[in-house]
Amino acid sequence: MELFTPEFWVAVSFFLFIGLAVYFKTFHKLGQALDKRAAEIKNELDEAFRLREEAEDVLAEYKRKQKEAQQEADDIVDLAKREAKSYAEETRKSMQEQFERRTRLAEEKIARAEEQAVNDVRSAAVDAAVGAAKHLIADKITPATADKLLNESIDSLKSKLN
- HEC string of the chain equals CCCCCHHHHHHHHHHHHHHHHHHCCHHHHHHHHHHHHHHHHHHHHHHHHHHHHHHHHHHHHHHHHHHHHHHHHHHHHHHHHHHHHHHHHHHHHHHHHHHHHHHHHHHHHHHHHHHHHHHHHHHHHHHHHHHHHHHHHHHHCCHHHHHHHHHHHHHHHHHHHC
Give burial (CB, 10 Å; 0-12/13-18/19+) of 21: middle
Has residue 24 been placed in a domain? yes
Domain total of the chain: 1
Q: How confident is the model at residue 157 (pLDDT cuts 50, 70, 90)?
A: confident
Q: How confident is the model at residue 1 (pLDDT cuts 50, 70, 90)?
A: low
Tell me the average pLDDT across 116-141.
Answer: 80
Q: How confident is the model at residue 2 (pLDDT cuts 50, 70, 90)?
A: confident
Quote the percentage of the chain above a pLDDT of 90. 56
Q: How confident is the model at residue 61 (pLDDT cuts 50, 70, 90)?
A: very high
Using a cut of 0.85, tell me whether the model's pTM lies above it: no
Has residue 3 been placed in a domain? no
State the residue range of the domain holding 151: 11-161
Has residue 2 been placed in a domain? no
Has residue 4 been placed in a domain? no
Q: How confident is the model at residue 162 (pLDDT cuts 50, 70, 90)?
A: low
- Cβ–Cβ < 8 Å for 48, 41: no
